[in-house]
Amino acid sequence: MSTAVSVEPRIKDVEVSDETITARLVDGRAISVPLAWSWRLSDATPAQRANWESIGDGHGVHWPDVDEDISAAGMLAGVPARRSNVPAKRSTRRPGGGKRNGMTSRLRTVAGRR
């Protein structure tokens, strides 16, 4: 009989310096990535960087002041945030029945936000 053990990385604490984003995991590991990987945190003040909250039972971190989300899995996989060149307000309606790349825009909701 085998016992299942969760090996999914979960963040216990996070610190953002002028050069790195460091997440300490519940299993004792630490992950550090360059601050430049998050343009929102790069542009944020020290107070905004310090104001974070755990999301998804520690699977990620959210900075409400700058609307940034980073996951432990993304940090481990080496996935930096992409800077969007899209204007802040944009209609999600598309010609052809509201479909976008063959999927309705409703399917792209993440954490209750579009």
The arithmetic mean of pLDDT across residues 42-69, rounded, is: 97
CB atoms closer than 10 angstroms to residue 60: 22
Does 80 score more than 60 pLDDT? yes
Higher pLDDT, 62 or 84: 62
Contact 58, 24 (CB under 8 A): no
Q: Looking at the domain 11-77, which fold is it?
A: NE0471 N-terminal domain-like (3.30.2020)
Task: Please report, for the chain, the start and end positions of each structural domain, with discontinuous segments joined by +.
Answer: 11-77
Express each pLDDT in 15-45 by its tens digit: 999 999 999 999 999 999 999 999 999 999 9
pLDDT at 83: 78
